[in-house]
Homo-oligomer: A and B are copies of this chain.
Amino acid sequence: MTLTEPDSVHTEHTPLSEEHLTVLGDRLRSVLDGTYATERAVGRATFPAEGMLRDPSLDVEASREWTLGRLLELERHGFGHAGVPEGANSVSDPLTAVMAFEMLAHGDLSVTIKSGVQFGLFGGAVTNLGTDWHHETYLPDITSLKLLGCFAMTELGHGSDVQSLETTITYIPETDEYEVDSPTAAATKAYIGNAAKDGTMAAVFGQLIVDGVGHGVHVVLVPLRDESGADLPGITTGDHGHKGGLLGVDNGTIRFSRVRVPRRMLLDRYGGVSVDGVYASPIDNPNRRFFTMLGTLVRGRVCVGGGAGIAARRALSIAVRWGLTRHQFPAAGRPDGVLLLDYLTHQKRLLPRLARAYALGFAQNELITDLVHVQGPTPSTEEEQRSLETHAAGLKAMTTWFANQTVQEAREACGGSGYMSENQLVEMRRDVDIFATFEGDNTVLMQLVTKALLTDYRKEWSELDRTGVVQATARVAGDAVAEATSAGLVLGALADAVRRRPEETTLVDRRWHALMFDERARHSLEALARRMRAAAKVRGDQFEAFNALGDHVQFVARAYMEQRVLTAFVDAIDALPAGETREVLERVCSLYALQSIHDDRAWFMEHNRITSGRSKAIGAQINDLCRELRPHALSLVEGLGVPEKWLGAAILA
């Protein structure tokens, strides 16, 4: 047995997209595809799947070469720059961008990420932060891959803390130029995709300084390399070399030593120096300007979360299909060994995660709809924009964490064969690992979610403070919280119906799930608000006072996002007619909801939301749901939408 050669996987005569699904699997797929069923079905039918997986034994250089080649091939098939406008006259198309990223994530993730760097980040910066001249001059070459670029934000000394970037972009009135400089070693741009080899230009984030005055972080285009690939004067690039994964992406470092570029190279949609050498911006408040500029990058987070979700689906597809094939240990009535997926312990490794994959998929669909609305031609409100940013941050964190845990669990569920690269799981695990860190470190993103929730009722707090109605505080704040966290009206109504006698419901009563999710989100936010208020009054080390709240901040964000996810699931089910598909999905939703409650059952007991008896019963109910869903395992995997032939795992051949 030798390692399966990528070529040999694809020598069959039937096209890779041909599938024979069970009736239920086909229906589940339509439901999970949801609003985007057509786009996704077309994507599966037309995606150039031949050679979509990289040979894992390629070294760094060969991986980079293969990845760039694959990107060019996809471009020839029209799967390249999807969503990035080809010039000033075409419009940005967020839906096509997100759909293309999803489809790419079914194959090698280096290709997915290199495409994301080129089109989503570099192309996105030019599109969203640039103006007509930038669009006309650069978008045609960006979309045709003639110009490969970098998104040079992160610095060695400043990962998540973009506002503290040290790179300077200083306006030089004498020559009407900007001078880009890395004043310290910590200012070195780091982990930048396309920087080690392929990038010939970078969108560089730095502090804009005009006439000695700082105007905060702006972005300027800086050419990096000449046609031979050599660094231009003042530019020093470096190569991160071998990484934990994504070997096909040439991540590297960039240092600038007083590099001059013409004034027009600044991406000046939200601020720049006018022809008479004066700084001007359509947004007066520097803080708001900063977040507006970063906010345009929200699409990247939506894509990364979506891509991680696809990776988790691929891993679950492999592990569940293998569990339906593999026998181990003879047992009573099973002389040839027990089918792996008939072990309850094995079911519990995979089926609750399968349920969560559905749940996160429905939430992702909603998020895409919000993105398409906010970035579409119809104007959106500031509140809608802010809500999109919060949910994109939260769902990116939730889904990338989920993907990492799920791919690892799938690898272990396949035992020794899971460790062989020809079965795809270890490569996927390596690649998806960093999804939890890039496009915003997950822990920092969850802090953003909680910050947004707390902001929603700051006003109420200060008014109460002035009138001194201290006793009423908790209750009133509670109502504000209820508003902030009632992720959907449907869920709120469900919860209210059983609020008085929650323990009289069954464990699969959706109203009870809604109530528990609501209580978790509501109470944890209320309590955090109180603790924040107390911390702000502490004399002495303010940092330490807030430092103690770190875990609580994370919990609030998670509780809120879980509620969003359940809402999306319930909304999707409510749209279905009665029948087997709906019945199966009701069980899948219960399994998701109960596993979420079970994971936090200590919190629910600590806060007297469930009794110890009910807590134990949840575990038994999860077992029952696993047994009930076991006969539908294949259909449920088909519903995840990953064509079997795309999996490329040797154990399934």
- A423: nearest residue on chain B (CB-CB)? B244
Question: Which of B56, B417, B602 is in CB contact (< 8 Å) with A242?
Answer: B56
Q: Is the C-beta of A507 less than 8 angstroms from some C-beta in chain B?
A: no
1/0 per position for A439-471, CB-CB distance to B under 8 A?
A: 001010000000000000000000000000000
Residue of A56, A164, A243 with most chain B CB atoms under a 10 A cut-off: A243
Residues of chain A in range 457-493 having any CB-CB distance to chain B below 8 Å: none
Q: Which of B159, B430, B615 contacts A606 (CB 8 A)?
A: B615
Instruction: Name the distance in Å between A183's Cβ and chain B's nearest Cβ.
Output: 15
- In the bound complex, residues from chain B placing their C-beta under 8 Å from that of A422 are 240-242
Asked whether A253 and B1 contact (CB < 8 A) given A244-B419, A334-B543, A542-B333, the answer is yes
Contacts of A89 on B, CB cut-off 8 Å? none
Task: Select A331's contact among B417, B543, B608, beta carbons within 8 Å.
Answer: B543
Q: Give A619 to B554 CA distance when docked, in angstroms.
A: 15
Which residues of chain A from 42 to 83 have a CB within 8 Å of any chain B CB?
56-57, 59-60
Stretch at the interface among A202-210, A544-552, A560-568: A544-552
Q: Which one of A157, A342, A344, A606 has the greatest number of beta carbons of chain B within 10 Å?
A: A606
A380 at the interface (CB under 8 A from B): no
Among B1, B154, B615, which residue has its beta carbon within 8 angstroms of that of A238? B1
Chain A 415-451 against B: per-residue CB contact (8 Å), 1 yes, 0 no?
1111111100110011001101110010100000000
How many Å lie between the Cα of A443 and that of B348 in the bound state? 13
> Does any Cβ of B come within 8 Å of A605's Cβ?
yes
- Residues on B with C-beta less than 8 A from A241 are 2-3, 57, 420-422
* A343-B550, A542-B333 known; A416 vs B615 contact (CB < 8 Å): no
B434 touches A547 (CB 8 A): no
A485 to chain B, nearest CB (A): 22
A314 in contact (CB, < 8 A): no
Does A93 lie at the interface of the complex (its beta carbon under 8 Å from any beta carbon of B)?
Answer: no
Which B residues are in CB contact (< 8 Å) with A554? 345
Is A356 located at the chain interface by the 8 A CB criterion? no
Closest residue of B by beta carbon distance from A550: B345
- Residue in contact with A437 in the complex, picked from B191, B412, B606, CB distance below 8 Å: B412
A429 touches B547 (CB 8 A): no
Q: Given known contacts A1-B240, A606-B612, is B164 in contact with A332 (CB within 8 Å)?
A: no
Contact of A333 (CB < 8 Å), options: B56, B154, B244, B541: B541
For chain A, which range describes its interface: under 10, 10 to 19, 20 to 34, or 35 or more residues?
Answer: 35 or more
Q: In angstroms, how far is the closest chain B Cβ from the Cβ of A522?
A: 18
Chain B residue at minimal CB-CB distance from A5: B241
The CA-CA distance from A541 to B436 in the complex, in Å, is 44
- A229: chain B residues at CB < 8 Å are none
Q: Mark A378-412, 1 if CB is under 8 A from B, else 0.
A: 00000000000000000000000000000000011
**Docked pose: A414 CA to B103 CA in angstroms:** 31
Q: Are A602 and B615 in contact (CB under 8 A)?
A: yes
Query: Does B429 contact A415, Cβ atoms closer than 8 Å?
Result: no
Interface flag for A161 (CB, 8 Å): yes
Instruction: Give A619's nearest chain B residue, CB to CB.
Output: B551
A2-B239 in contact given A415-B159, A433-B411 (Cβ < 8 Å): yes
**Are the C-beta atoms of A551 and B348 separated by less than 8 Å?**
yes
Complex: A238 Cα to B547 Cα, angstroms: 55
A241 to B417 Cα, complex, angstroms = 12
Q: Give residues 309-337 of A contacting B (CB, 8 Å).
A: 327-334, 337
A180: shortest Cβ distance to chain B, in Å?
19
Binding site of A, secondary structure by majority: helix, strand, loop or mixed? mixed
Within 1-20 of A, Cβ neighbours of B (below 8 Å) are at 1-3
Q: How distant is the Cα of A242 from the Cα of B58 in the complex, in angstroms?
A: 9
Q: In the complex, how many angstroms separate the beta carbon of A254 from the nearest chain B beta carbon?
A: 10
Query: How far is it, in angstroms, between the C-alpha of A337 and the C-alpha of B240 when the chains are bound?
Result: 25
Q: Within 8 Å of chain B (Cβ to Cβ): is A160?
A: yes
Nearest CB in chain B to that of A1: its residue: B238
Q: Which of B154, B327, B426 contacts A244 (CB 8 A)?
A: B426
Judged by a CB distance under 8 angstroms, whether A190 is at the interface is yes
Give the distance to chain B from A44, nearest Cβ to Cβ, in Å: 28
- List residues of A (116-157) whose CB comes within 8 Å of B's CBs: 154, 157
Do residues B1 and A239 form an inter-chain contact, with CB atoms below 8 A?
yes
Instruction: Say yes or no: is A607 at the interface (Cβ < 8 Å to chain B).
Output: yes
Pick from B238, B441, B547, B607: contact of A2, CB below 8 A. B238
- Complex CA distance for A92 and B190, rounded to whole angstroms: 52
- Asked if A547 contacts B190 (CB within 8 A), the reply is no
Give Cα A157–Cα B243 distance, bound, in whole angstroms: 34
Let me know if A225 is at the binding interface, CB within 8 A. Answer: no
From A414, which residue of chain B is reached at the shortest CB distance?
A: B437
**Cα(A419)–Cα(B334), bound, Å:** 45
Tell me which residues from 609 to 653 in chain A have a Cβ below 8 Å from any Cβ of chain B.
Answer: 612, 615-616, 619, 623
Answer whether residue A338 sits at the interface, using C-beta atoms and an 8 A cutoff.
yes
A429 touches B333 (CB 8 A): no
Q: Are A419 and B434 in contact (CB under 8 A)?
A: yes
A197 at the binding interface (Cβ < 8 Å): no
The yes or no answer to A106 lying at the interface (CB within 8 A) is: no
CA–CA, A76 and B242, complex, Å = 31
Check if A299 is an interface residue, CB within 8 A of chain B: no
Q: Which of B154, B243, B338 contacts A419 (CB 8 A)?
A: B243
Per CB-CB distance, the 4 closest pairs between chain A and chain B, nearest first, are A3-B241, A244-B426, A345-B550, A1-B238
- A residues touching B (Cβ–Cβ < 8 Å)? 1-3, 56-57, 59-60, 154, 157-161, 164, 188, 190-191, 238-245, 252-253, 327-334, 337-338, 342-345, 348, 411-412, 415-422, 425-426, 429-430, 433-434, 436-438, 441, 443, 541-543, 547-548, 550-551, 554, 601-602, 605-608, 612, 615-616, 619, 623
Name 16 interchain pairs, CB-CB below 8 A, sorted by A: A1-B252, A1-B253, A161-B337, A242-B422, A243-B419, A243-B420, A244-B418, A244-B429, A332-B541, A344-B548, A345-B443, A348-B550, A419-B437, A430-B430, A602-B605, A606-B615
